[in-house]
Amino acid sequence: MVEPVQGEAGAVVPPPGYLARARKLCDQYGALLIADEIQTGMGRTGRLWGVDHPDVVPDIMCLGKAIGGGVMPLSAFVSTPKIWEALIPNPVIHSTTFGGNPIACAAGIAAITVTLEEDFPGQAAAKGEMLMEELAVLRARYPAVLSASRGKGLLVGLEFPSDAVGYDCAAALFRRDVLVAGTYSKARTIRIEPALDIPSPLPLEVLNRLEDAFKEIQTKRFGSDRCPVPDVSVDRATVGKFGRCRVAQTGRLFPKSSVDRGMPAGQRRLHRFRDRPGIPCSRRDGDWRADSQHFRNGAPIARHSGGNLRYNTINNTEEANADYLRN
């Protein structure tokens, strides 16, 4: 039994070939490969299922959380006709009081329909790619605060040097109306898991507030919002595929043509998404006034969706495998 990306361990991505080797071993020894897609399924990682990234077909998939559309509690056991035959001699081994609940199933059908029709996997992939690049910039700028960022799609984990720093970051984000999810094992790693159809400006505002949180922690622990090691100069305007931008003195990204978006100057990080494929916008004319209403109302701009941001480069396969198993 494997998670295509480990959720509670902190969005740990397995090294390349890991799931394919697991499939091969199961075939070799006659074991079943069970994929736990409760957190990774329904488009969360940028593909409909987490196992779609390595193109591995499991024998059983366990689904939950997002399959209920955030409306109804729903889970599913999905398998092949041959494996289902094991229930014929004793079908009550998979009985459940609320199994087949019609309202929950209607919500599940609607969730699947919307996921496919609105291409939630594609949205997660495009937004996640942008987030990974921006988080890499923040990691280079605040290496004493952010140790690592990793994940796939919109299942993202941020790892900090200690539990205390992770707790400080989660608290600082909470004060800025950004809700993040911790992990069961440690406060050292927190997860960012927004809704897959999150309006395009909001992840950028999350990054803005995340940088503010890093500056606060930097000042608290080192007496300055400057890094204790030489800062890494990054020309963010070179991220051309994410929109043409100029860099303000604060180092933050602004659209070339600025309009009142309901946020104080220096607290906006908005790209022009008008010409970007793969990320639908509520408004495509570059005017984000409608979306900025979320900010003015003080609504949380990211949340743990219960089912439906980080980046990891694998340099040494053996070390990566060992680290993955330890987690």
Q: Tell me if 182 sits within 8 A of 190, measured CB to CB.
A: yes
Please check whether residues 96 and 107 belong to one and the same domain.
yes
Q: Which helix (H) or strand (E) holds 63?
A: strand 60-64
Does residue 302 belong to any structural domain of this protein?
no
Does residue 303 belong to any structural domain of this protein?
no
Domain count, the chain: 2
Does residue 310 belong to any structural domain of this protein?
no
Please check whether residues 320 and 262 belong to one and the same domain.
no
Looking at residue 172, the DSSP 8-state letter turns out to be H
Please check whether residues 133 and 245 belong to one and the same domain.
yes
Q: How far apart are CA 317 and CA 321, in angstroms?
A: 6
Q: How far apart are CA 100 and CA 107, in angstroms?
A: 12
Please check whether residues 71 and 141 belong to one and the same domain.
no
Please check whether residues 322 and 272 belong to one and the same domain.
no
Q: Tell me if 257 sits within 8 A of 246, measured CB to CB.
A: no
Burial class (CB in 10 A: 0-12, 13-18, 19+), 142: buried
Q: What's the whole-model pTM score? A: 0.69
Strand 34-36 versus strand 148-152 pairing type: unpaired
Q: How far apart are CA 42 and CA 57, in angstroms?
A: 16
- pLDDT at 239 (0 to 100): 34
CATH number at residue 62: 3.40.640.10
Please check whether residues 134 and 263 belong to one and the same domain.
yes
Does residue 267 belong to any structural domain of this protein?
yes
- pLDDT at 93 (0 to 100): 76
- pLDDT at 90 (0 to 100): 81
The domain of 154 spans 120-296
CATH number at residue 244: 3.90.1150.10
Please check whether residues 85 and 197 belong to one and the same domain.
no
Largest CA distance in the chain: 71
Please check whether residues 102 and 141 belong to one and the same domain.
no
Please check whether residues 158 and 276 belong to one and the same domain.
yes
Does residue 136 belong to any structural domain of this protein?
yes
Does residue 252 belong to any structural domain of this protein?
yes
Using the Cα atoms of residue 197, residue 199, residue 200 and residue 203 in order, give the sign of their dihedral: negative
Please check whether residues 125 and 268 belong to one and the same domain.
yes
Please check whether residues 179 and 100 belong to one and the same domain.
no
Tokens 């700028």 -> residue: 141
Q: How far apart are CA 295 and CA 215, in angstroms?
A: 21
DSSP 202-242: HHHHHHHHHHHHHHHHHHHHHSSSS-SSPPPP--GGG-GGG
Q: How far apart are CA 299 and CA 107, in angstroms?
A: 26
| CA dist list (Å): 134 to 3, 142, 164, 177 | 26, 12, 24, 20
- pLDDT at 282 (0 to 100): 36
Does residue 27 belong to any structural domain of this protein?
yes
Q: How far apart are CA 324 and CA 162, in angstroms?
A: 19
Q: Which helix (H) or strand (E) holds 152?
A: strand 148-152
Mean pLDDT of successive 10-residue stretches along the chain, which has 327 residues: 93 96 97 97 97 97 94 92 87 78 94 97 96 96 95 96 93 95 82 93 95 95 62 37 31 33 38 38 33 36 34 33 43
- pLDDT at 89 (0 to 100): 87
Please check whether residues 164 and 281 belong to one and the same domain.
yes
Q: CA geometry: angle at 312 spanning 56 and 70, to 5°?
A: 65
- pLDDT at 210 (0 to 100): 97
The structure tokens listed for 251 are: 């180092």
Q: How far apart are CA 268 and CA 229, in angstroms?
A: 27
- pLDDT at 322 (0 to 100): 40
Does residue 130 belong to any structural domain of this protein?
yes
